[in-house]
Structure 1
Amino acid sequence: MARATSNSVNPHARTGVRIVVAGDKGTGKSSLISTASSDNFRPNVAPVLPPTTLAVDLYPDHVPITIIDTSSRIEDTNKVAEELQRADTVVLTYACDRPETLENLSTFWLPHLRNLEVKVPVIVVGCRLDLRDENAQVSLEQVMSPIMQQFREIETCIECSASRHIQVPEVFYYAQKAVLHPTAPLFDQETQTLKPRCVRALKRIFILCDIDRDGALSDAELNDFQVKCFNAPLQPSEIIGVKKVVQDKLSEGVNERGLTLTGFLFLHALFIEKGRLETTWTVLRKFGYNDEIKLADDLIPSFKYAHDQSVELTNEAIDFLKTTFDAYDADFDGMLRPREIDELFSTAPESPWIGNLYEDAAERNAFQGLSQDAFLSEWALMTLLNPTFSLENLIYIGYAGEPSSAIRVTRKRRTDRKKQHSDRNVLQCFVFGPRNAGKSALLNSFIGRPYTEAYNPTNEDRYAVNVVDIARENRKYLVLKEIPEGGVARLLGKKESLASCDIAVFVHDRSDESSWKASSELLERIASHGEETGFEVPCLIVAAKDDLDSFTSAIQDSIRVSQDMGVEAPIPISVKLGDFNTVFCRIVTAAEHPHLSIPETEAGKTRKQFNKRMGRSLMFVSVGAAVALVGLGAYRIYAARKSSSG
């Protein structure tokens, strides 16, 4: 592989680099900028120069550079801070002939940048090199090493002399390079190794270039890679040379088929260690990566959809995921264990399922493995909650089709109600209920968790997702979203809060009369909110803990409420006894036919009757007006005829 050249194309290139120069008074800031821009040293320059632009063709990347000089006056402190916060990179200067200015870098300037939350590369520049005492034998590396250990944001240290034209252009070359080809995202200076996200990206690139999937880049594949990234082929002798460099240092880096992944990663680490970061960055950017080593935003289609629409995977994407599941099921046990899941996502910046949201959402076996249904359920949930993120990860793990072919936007839920049927494959159910009603137990049972008597209140929204088989050709992914009692007010604070809900379930403890009262009040609130906003949702009532003695009055009242509101009678279940009364199938069926289970409040009924009466009144008024107009027209015709006959 060759060094990146000036004609390499970066589809996500910056339009410019803003360099802010700061440091103690008299350290040579203005002289440095003046000499760099004019290639001529002037002994008398203004204390603070106006913004200075360097010639675009001064450096190979042809990116415009704007240099901002800063004042050393105390009264300009706030203005300097504003400039530093707008910088792409900061050049901090000290005077080689004044040791106290070097000390001020670590005691003031570098801590000051951190306090301002300036998180950009820093170039430390020793100016006035020509004025340093010749008897002072100073090693820049020896002096700067402790400071660089403490302040990892320092990218490069360099000494220069504006009056002697020593290394002045190099200062701003390194400053620009620190922005266009930064070290921090790629390489850990402390361990001297590639960073994990860089390794993952390079692994994905290697796999994409390994056309025959034999685990090595052949000479032809290596040459194709070179042409794609650097617009120039490798000569046979160069290919031999590359492989020899690797093999001499790392025997497993090359085999009889070509350059292995280990060798490919080794080469990039070598480039970076030798200061050739532009080579690795050119490769990454050619494959669509941005400065965070993630796919650039413009490579991931964005989706526009209404609040009452949702996004789900197409059959094409699901088929790809099934094939991928089989490919990574190394022990052929029908499960993906954690290490196999990690390997599957090893070409993504990180595993998307780290964290309780996903780790706690799907059914896992005793070894934390996922079945194919559970694996697909996790994808269904991720696509529902964050379709762009889901699509991005599909691409990371090798989906090669058009990105738009992996995702479909469903029709509006209002349309579902009018058509009296939902064609969604992924249905979202909001689970409401008071504390200790059995909401969490319902979610746990849905994903195969054993029943426990221990009560652990849920304080944040929680998800559970699984496949529900309704009929031979009717499989749905059901997402249960537990809404903690304390989260209801927050949920209903938004008009469209119920728009993403396909069905709501209200759980109460059948043995606790107060539990039913609280649950019925929630049902009333949700139904009222739906009527007021137009985002009505079908509802079911679940009477949990059917294994305990029930309150007769609560049972009678719950049946009466369900009849009055026009929803199905409460469904008794016992998670403890494993008696679910087909509750999950009934949830899906009700969501598929939403018009049958939408509750009506008394206020809603009154409003509907009023609207009907108003409709009839308006109809009568319209008919009366029409009759009057017809009569008036007939009279005018009669009058006209009478006038003409006279």
Structure 2
Amino acid sequence: MAGGSSSAGNAKSGGVRIVVAGDRGTGKSSLIVTAATDTFPTNVPPVLPPTRMPDDMYPDRVPVTVIDTSSSLENRGRLAEDLKQADAVVLTYACDQPATLDRLSTFWLPELRRLEVRVPVIVVGCKLDLRDEQQPITLEQVMSPIMQQFREIETCIECSAFNHIQIPEVFYYAQKAVLHPTAPLFDQESQTLKPRCVRALKRIFILCDHDRDGALSDAELNDFQVKCFNAPLQPSEIVGVKRVVEEKLPEGVNDLGLTLTGFLFLHALFIEKGRLETTWTVLRKFGYNNDIRLVDDQLPPPIKRAPDQSVELTNEAVEYLKTAFNMFDIDGDGALRPAELEDLFSTSPESPWIEAPYEDAADKNALGGLSLDGFLSEWALMTLLDPIRSVENLIYIGYSGDPPSAIRVTRKRRTDRRKQQTDRNILQCFVFGPHQSGKSALLAAFIGRPFADIHVSTTEERYAVNAVDLPGGTRKTLVLREIPEDGVKMLLSRKDALAACDIAVFVYDSSDESSWKRATKLLVDVASQGEITGYEVPCLMVAAKDDLDPFETAIQDATRVTQDMGIEAPIPFSATSGDFNSLFRRIATAAEHPHLNIPETEAGRSRRQYNRLINRSLMFVSVGAAVAIVGLAAYRVYAARKNSSS
């Protein structure tokens, strides 16, 4: 594999914007003019206008614009704006003024952090020709402590505009830091490739290993070279590459060719030698950006959908996932253990399910393994919440179909209600209820978690997802979304809050009358929101803790309220009974038929009666107006005949 320079491609197609900042009198303007014109200026204005560097100055031929800045207090606002728009920052100090060097760590670098300017920084010592040569201290000795403290510093260099020493190099390093940054690829402390870089290179290796034998043959290496660098490798070059690897790392080459270990070693070697452009060229040829994620044009376009439409995986994508599951279930136990799951996602930037809301959302066995149902459920949840990220991860794990073909947008919920049937495979249920009503126990039961006696208050929204078998042999994926009582008001403050909801469940502690009353109020609040916004949803009540003695009038009160509102009577539930599959079937069945179990509040009933009255009145007015018009027309005919006869 030979190194090569290439255009940054998608990295900075609009050019590189470099902002030069530093104390007054440190040589900023002279540095810029000398670099642009190859002439040291005798007079320069206080601040230069934006300066375009010659296009042929550097091999990447990416346009470079340099922005001069003023360090005066009255121009501090403009300075901040310029810094925030920078692709790279050149910070200057004067080699003959030690105080300006101290100011880098006491003001300039902390100021960049305060402004949240997260771009590469090049520290430049100007006026090298004026430095006191009696001080034998080296640049490395001076800058090493600062670079330890401020990791954003990409490199340091000293220069002299007057003597034309290392002037082009300043902006070359700045441009290179933007186009080929070190930070995403390499950990300077441990001198190793960063995990995300390793994962991307592993995916590239697998894509290039056409015969899937775990090594790149000479032909595969040559194909890789042509794809990335538009030039074939000579047989002698292939031999040379493998010899370099084998001498340093015997396991990097085997009888079949270059192994993944050897492939990664080569890239680490290029980076250590400062040839970052080689690795970046490879990454960009395979669609990666500076964050080592796939660029947008590798993913589906933004999804156009109404608030009451959702996104699901297509059958094609689901079948691919079933194949991937079986491929990575190495021990054949019907579950992906944590190590197997990590292996599956080892070509993603990171495993997508290690944090909320996915971490504990699906059923896992005693060893922490995901069954096929649990695996597909996690994908369903990720597609529901973040469809583009779901497709992105599908591509990382090897899905080669057209990215937009992996997902489908469902029909509008309002259409489902009119047709009295939903066409979705993923049903989202909002779980409401007061504190300690049993919401978390309901979610835990749904994914097979044992009941926990110790109550832990839920302050954040949580999810549980699982497959539910319905009568007639159909199967749906049900997503339970727990809404903490304290979060209901904020949720309902959004007009389209219920648009994403297929069904709402209201859980109350059947042994506590105050819990019942608060759950009923929540039901009324949600139903009212649906009536006002038009996003009406089916609702069910769940009488949790059914194993405890109910409060005195529990059954009568619950039956009366649910009948008045036009929904089913509360469904009993006990997290300790272990028999609750019928509950989740009833929830999914109610969501399947979105025209049923729509609660009606007093206000909603009054509003409907008023609308019916108005419509009836308008109908009478219309009939009266029609009669009047017909009568007028008849009179005109009569009058015309009378006139003609006379």
Q: TM-score range by the shorter chain?
A: over 0.9
Q: Deviation per CA, 1:451-501, whole angstroms, max 9, x where unpaired?
A: 122222212211111000013530000011111111111111111111111
Question: Structure 1 CA distance, aligned partners of 2:514 and 2:41?
Answer: 86
Deviation at 1:26, TM superposition (A): 3.2
Report the counterpart of residue 601 of structure 1 in structure 2: 601
> Structure 2: how far apart are the matches of 1:72 and 1:584?
66
The letter of the residue matching 1:271 is F
Q: How far, CA to CA, are the matches of 2:12 and 2:499 in structure 1?
A: 40
Tell me if the contact between 2:5 and 2:281 (Cα under 8 Å) persists in the aligned partners: no
Are the structure 2 counterparts of residues 565 and 4 from structure 1 closer, same or farther at C-alpha, using a change threshold of 3 Å? Answer: same
Q: Is the 8 A contact 1:506 1:541 kept in 2?
A: yes
Post-superposition offset of 1:311: 0.7
Q: Is the CA contact (8 Å cut-off) linking 1:9 and 1:286 kept in structure 2?
A: no
Task: Tell me if structure 1 keeps the 8 A contact 2:8–2:179.
Answer: no
CA offset at residue 100 of structure 1?
4.0
Return closer, same or farther for 1:458/1:645 CA change in 2, 3 Å cut-off: same
Question: Which AA in structure 1 matches 2:548?
Answer: L
CA contact (8 A) 2:8 2:62 kept: no
Counterpart position of 2:227: 228
Moved more, 126-135 or 368-377: 126-135
Equivalent residue number for residue 209 of structure 1: 208
| Residues 22/610 of structure 1: CA separation in 2 closer, same or farther (3 Å cut) | closer
**Percentage identity across aligned positions?**
72
SS in 1 for 2:556: helix
Give, in angstroms, the shift of residue 75 of structure 1: 4.4
What is the letter of the counterpart of residue 510 of structure 1?
A: S
Please state if 1:42 is matched with 2:41: yes
Partner amino acid for 2:352?
P
Structure 2 equivalent of residue 238 of structure 1:
237
The residue number in structure 2 matching 1:392 is 392
Measure, in 2, the Cα distance between the counterparts of 1:140 and 1:364. 56
Deviations 1:341-361 (A, max 9, x none): 111111111111112311121
Query: Which SS does the other structure have where 2:553 is aligned?
Result: helix
Per-residue deviation, 1:134? 4.6
Equivalent position SS for 2:357: helix
Of the structure 1 ranges 626-635 and 468-477, higher mean CA displacement relative to structure 2 is found in 626-635
User: Aligned residue for 2:279?
Assistant: 280
Q: How far is the alpha carbon of 1:609 from its aligned partner?
A: 2.2
Contact 1:508–1:515, Cα closer than 8 Å, also in 2: yes
Q: Superposed, which structure 2 residues align to 1:251-290 within 5 Å? A: 251-290=250-289
- Over aligned residue pairs, what C-alpha RMSD do you find? 1.9
Note the C-alpha offset of 1:402: 0.7
8 Å CA contact retained: 2:431, 2:504: yes
Which residue is 1:487 aligned to?
A: 487
Change (3 A) 1:42 1:549: closer
User: Structure 2 counterpart of 1:265, which letter?
Assistant: L
Match of 2:347 in 1: 347
Matched-pair contact (CA < 8 Å) for 1:218–1:257: yes
The alpha-carbon distance between structure 1 residues 108 and 540, as it changes in their structure 2 partners (threshold 3 A), is closer
Question: Measured at CA, do residues 564 and 169 of structure 1 come closer, stay the same or move farther in structure 2, by a change above 3 Å?
Answer: same
Equivalence for 2:129: 130
Counterpart Cα distance in 2 of 1:168 and 1:413: 64
Aligned residue runs from structure 1 range 145-544, under 5 A: 145-301=144-300, 302-471=302-471, 473-544=473-544
Partner residue of 1:613?
Answer: 613
CA separation in 1, counterparts of 2:603 and 2:124?
Answer: 74
- 2:394 aligned partner, one-letter code: L
Return the offset for 1:193.
Answer: 0.7
- Contact preservation (8 Å) 1:185, 1:291: yes
What's the CA shift for 1:581? 6.8
- How much has 1:588 moved relative to structure 2? 0.7
**Poorly superposed stretches of 4+, deviation over 6 Å:** none
Name the structure 2 match of 1:113.
112
Measure how far apart 1:116 and its partner are.
Answer: 3.2
Specify whether residues 581 and 201 from structure 1 end up closer, same or farther in structure 2 by C-alpha distance, changes over 3 A only. closer
Report how far residue 78 of structure 1 moved: 4.3
Unaligned stretches of 5+ in structure 1?
A: none
Give per-residue Cα distances to partners, 1:105-157, cap 9 Å, x unaligned.
Answer: 33443333333332221112222233334554443333332332222111112
Alpha-carbon offset, residue 175 of structure 1 = 0.9
Are 1:360 and 1:464, in contact at CA under 8 Å, matched by a contact in 2?
yes
Which deviations, in whole Å up to 9, do the C-alpha atoms of 1:418-472 show, x marking residues without a partner? 1111111000111111222111111111110111222222122111110000135
Contact 2:10 2:289 in 1 (8 A): no
Following superposition, the deviation at residue 101 of structure 1 comes to: 3.5
- Residue identity matched to 2:225: Q
Contact 2:539/2:597 (CA < 8 Å) preserved in 1?
A: yes
Indicate if the aligned counterparts of 1:571 and 1:581 stay in contact, CA closer than 8 A.
no
Kept after mapping to 2: 8 A contact 1:573/1:581: no
Contact 1:11 1:286 in 2 (8 A): no
Residue 507 and residue 113 in structure 1: after superposition, are their counterparts in 2 closer, same or farther (change >3 A)? Answer: closer
Q: Which amino acid aligns with 1:192?
A: Q
How far did 1:404 drift? 1.0
- SS at 2:196's partner residue? helix
Distance 1:9 1:111 in 2: 30
Q: Which residue of 2 aligns with 1:579?
A: 579
The corresponding residue for 2:69 is 70
Give the Cα separation in 1 of the matches to 2:372 and 2:115: 49
Aligned residues of 1:451 and 1:575 also touching (Cα < 8 A):
yes
Q: Give the Å deviation of 1:21.
A: 1.9
Query: 8 Å contact 2:328–2:336 — kept in the other structure?
Result: yes
Q: Counterparts of 2:136 and 2:380 in 1: how far apart (Å)? A: 66
What SS does structure 1 have at the residue aligned with 2:358?
A: helix
Superposed CA deviations along residues 487-544 of structure 1, whole A, max 9, x for unmatched, are 1111111111111111111112222222222222221221111111111111111112
Q: 1:67 is paired with a residue of what secondary structure?
A: strand
User: How many Å apart are 1:364 and its aligned residue?
Assistant: 0.9
Point out the more displaced range, 9-18 or 590-599. Answer: 9-18
1 CA distance for matches of 2:455 and 2:90?
Answer: 58
- Write the letter of the residue equivalent to 2:457: P
How far apart in 2 are the matches of 1:501 and 1:470? 20
Structure 1 distance, partners of 2:619, 2:126, is: 89
